[in-house]
Chains A and B, each alone.
Chain A
Amino acid sequence: MILRGVSALGCGLLFGAGLGISQMSNPAKVIGFLDVAGEWDPSLLFVLVSAVAVTAIAFRFVPRLPRPLFDRAFERAAPENINARLIAGASLFGIGWGLSGYCPGPGVVALARFAPDATLFVGAFLVGSWLYRFAKNQQLVVRSETRSVSLGEVAVCDRVGDIEQKGQATSAPF
């Protein structure tokens, strides 16, 4: 239990330092990576590729171990559902990423340099997550892993300020 906690702390530290060094926590750098029409800066691509290169090799072997070193079992990976929900979520994230230049991990790392925009970003990230949870718990959002949500419903969820009841949402004229 203690060893597991220490591991989590150490991995977080390594991860955070990696994000800092690779400049993933620098919004201007991220925007530069996304700005294909301007002065495109592809260097973050190498960050992603090298990280994936490491995991691609290790993930073939590690989950075959009987158990992780400091816990009882490996977490199961998410099922392979490709649906509108996945793409809509990814697209929403992409828009937010393009606007702010932050994703969650780098946002936390940027907190360490007391960046006001990072503080706002992390706060808003939690609010956005909470709103989704709230909507889900109220069953305002169709939550079905097997059925894809229609893009109309997703568009309603997007405007978190005026989430409607599911019945109204599906009949709303999109």
Chain B
Amino acid sequence: MIGVATVLYLLLTGRYAGISGIMRGAVFGDPDRSTDVLFVIGLLLGGVAWRWVGPHETARAANSLWIAAVGGLLVGAGTSLGGGRTSGHGVCGLGRLSLRSLVAVVSFVAAGMVTVYLTNHLLWRSA
């Protein structure tokens, strides 16, 4: 579904569906940001629709709130610095067989794994 949505977005609007870039576009605004805004609204509605009809596995927050906030800061700065992330590099970039995106994906998965290893196994026991 994620792949299909990405392809449709390119086919219909000519844009690559990198979420972090879309969200920045929607909030900080280029002159023509209606497409970005509508995509983000669609994302939200997708979440609502899934809550409505879908199976309700209990999603739970993995860590405490302030950690989520710090994580958000790093994700925001990191995606700005490196030019996109999971959907941009992962789904679109790998789909284009881009070496640059492969390097990025390997970097962020590795960094994520190291972080989880540190937090869950060394710093404090996972809840």
**Number of residue pairs A-B, CB distance < 8 angstroms:** 468
- By a CB distance below 8 angstroms, the chain A residues around B119 are 98-99
Interface size range of chain B in the complex: 35 or more
User: Number of A residues whose C-beta is below 8 Å from B?
Assistant: 112
Q: Which residue of A lies closest to B47 (CB)?
A: A112
A52 to B97, CA, bound (A): 10
B38 pairs with A124, CB closer than 8 A: no
A21 to B2, CA, bound (A): 10
A132 to B59, CA, bound (A): 31
- Residue B54 at the chain A interface, CB threshold 8 Å: yes
Interface of B is mostly: helix
- Using a CB–CB cutoff of 8 Å, the interface residues on chain B facing chain A are 1-17, 19-20, 23-24, 27-28, 34-36, 38-51, 54, 57, 59-63, 65, 67-87, 89-92, 94-100, 103-105, 107-117, 119-121, 126
A91 pairs with B111, CB closer than 8 A: yes
A74 to B69, CA, bound (A): 35
- By a CB distance below 8 angstroms, the chain B residues around A123 are 69, 72
A62 to B28, CA, bound (A): 29
- Using a CB–CB cutoff of 8 Å, the interface residues on chain A facing chain B are 3-23, 25-31, 34-38, 47-48, 50-56, 58-59, 62-63, 65, 67-75, 77-78, 80-82, 85-105, 107-113, 115-118, 120-133, 136, 154, 157-158, 160
Knowing A11-B17, A54-B6, A103-B19, say if A129 contacts B79 (CB, 8 Å): yes
- By a CB distance below 8 angstroms, the chain A residues around B92 are 55, 59, 77
A52 to B7, CA, bound (A): 10
A78 to B8, CA, bound (A): 19
A10 to B116, CA, bound (A): 34
A113 pairs with B51, CB closer than 8 A: yes
